[in-house]
A and B are shown apart, each in its own frame.
Chain A
Amino acid sequence: MKTFIRFAALGLALFPLAATAATSQVNYANINTTVKDNLGNPLTAGGNPNGDGAIIQIGYFSGSTATFTGNWIAISGLGSANPTLLTSVGDGGNSSNLGQFASGVTFDTVLNSSLPSGGTQLAMRFYNGTTISGSTYYNTVTSSNVNWQFKTPSTPAPLPAALDMDTSTLVWQGGSATAFTTAILIPEPATAMLGLVGGLLLLRRRRG
């Protein structure tokens, strides 16, 4: 039985740590339900290695992750600020685990960038492809569950955050009707540009 009388002076500040990299881990799991594409097909799990299935990005919004406002800042997965930290469907399993995953990713304050501050609510974005350029649809999910909050990196590492889709109350960027589905169309660059030009023209016309 451990006792802590040796720590009777608790409350005094801990010694500062050296410039050793601090880390924070985020686990992500979806075991009981299948994430599908907009056509109802389960997202590909790739092969046996982690990171080669349909893209998952872990990230947060610059405004509010809870309401999906501001810019999406991806910190793991292809197309993120840290593209070597691959996160994808099928991680922790094999090619038969379509639409499922159970794995973790560790963020390092020296090696990785765009990490949020401790307590920031995280989200996961799913793509219907294994490359960003080859994807046409996505969706983003988050939860107000405390386990979805990023932990401040430290040495030793804090216990991981847990993006657990099996039991958390989930909120989907596309609305509840799009749960577990990549239902949001990714605007093609040309389409996006047309929309932007159209908006500018409309604005100019109103001012005129």
Chain B
Amino acid sequence: MKAFFPLPFLLLGMLAPVGAQDTATSPIVGYSTITVPGNGALTALSVTFNKPVEFASTATSFSATGLTCTSATWTTSQWVGKLACIENAAGAEEAFLITANTATGLTLTSSFSLNARYAANAKFTIKSAHTVGSLFGTTNAEVVFQTGDSTTADVLYLWDGAQYVSYYHNGTIWRRSNSLNTAANDVVFPDDGFFVLRRAASSLALTFSGEIPQKAQSTTIPGGAQTTVASRFPVDTTISQMGFQSLTGWLNGTSSTGDRVYLWENNSYTVFWWNGTNWRKSTSLNNADTSVIPANSFMFVVRESAGAAAGAAAVHSLPYSIN
């Protein structure tokens, strides 16, 4: 995979978008073009650009499954299907799907108790989510991939925590391997990664655009599980900068005993593990601390540490400066 990112970032507008209540943000937008090889090649991707902020404020309290913002005057259900991006004590944000809302409350989907992680006055924003359709086109005229049936079309593979779920466009709608309904509106989270199987002979240039992350990012990586983690930023970073080694309960070890990171590159996995002092990787006998994690890629993180908390959050520091 080859990705590039135009630096310095293209600046578009310096004022907050509509709906910002308490805070203003200055969006910085950019784009990345990634070439996906053809002839059956498999490419690992993530989307690191965000949709515009539609609301920004500070919470007044958290429950296990939601937050309250007493100053809000929302219309019931107006935010359903969008993302609430909540900032933790380290200033890193993570996105949660909004499943319901009242005038002052958001109900979120989470695998752990939100009030165990977030301070009552945590900052949050609301923004639209990327979907399969918004990223790759919805109609046959829009879709960028080769269409067809499950054996001929280009395929997207998303890991659901237990297995891959595959998506393809049949020329009319997006199909998902475990549903008879259109899958165009399935959410692709900022921390999601996915494989693209390009069956067509030609390579394909995919261009993603949007707002670049301006804060550190956070990913929940529970113990005893295999989790996808997007590279989170539209620029190259390093395995050390991803910060996994600082995760609470991260298990040091070897290529088979420690918690591990699997990066798909050049048609195979490179496996990283933290030996307590440095990162090591499966393709080298040397220190791997500065090994590059490519922009817009993703990794699997496998935690042997089954006892690690369900809400364990890795903080990925911002790999660039915002002036």
Which residues in A have some Cβ–Cβ distance to B below 8 Å? 1-7, 9-21, 23, 25, 27, 29, 31, 92-93, 97, 100-104, 106, 145, 147, 155-157, 159-160, 162, 164, 166-168
Contact = CB atoms under 8 A, between A and B. Distances in A.
Given A162-B271, A167-B256, A16 B151 contact: yes
B308 to A, nearest CB: 16
A27 to B, nearest CB: 4
Contact of B285 (A14, A15, A92, A156): A92
Given A1-B96, A14-B165, A162-B255, A9 B192 contact: no
A13 to B, nearest CB: 8
B97 A5 contact: yes
Contact of B300 (A10, A14, A100, A159): A159
Interface string B273-301: 00000001111111000000000000010
A14 B284 contact: no
A164 B257 CA distance: 9
Given A14-B177, A29-B282, A156-B42, A164 B109 contact: no
Most buried by A among B186, B253, B267, B268: B268
B312 to A, nearest CB: 12
Contacts, number: 152
A104 B283 contact: yes
Interface of B: 40, 42, 94-97, 99, 109-111, 150-152, 155, 157, 160-166, 168, 175-179, 183, 186-187, 189, 191-192, 195, 197, 199, 220, 226-228, 253-257, 262, 264, 267-271, 280-286, 300, 302
Contacts of B228: 2
A12 to B, nearest CB: 4
Nearest to B262: A159
**Pairs of residues from A and B, 4 with the lowest C-beta to C-beta distance, nearest first:** A15-B150, A93-B285, A164-B256, A3-B109
Given A7-B165, A160-B271, A160-B282, A29 B255 contact: yes
A4 B161 contact: yes
Contacts of B42: 155-157
A104 B40 CA distance: 21
Contacts of A103: 282-283
B94 A1 contact: yes
Given A2-B191, A9-B178, A102-B284, A164 B160 contact: no
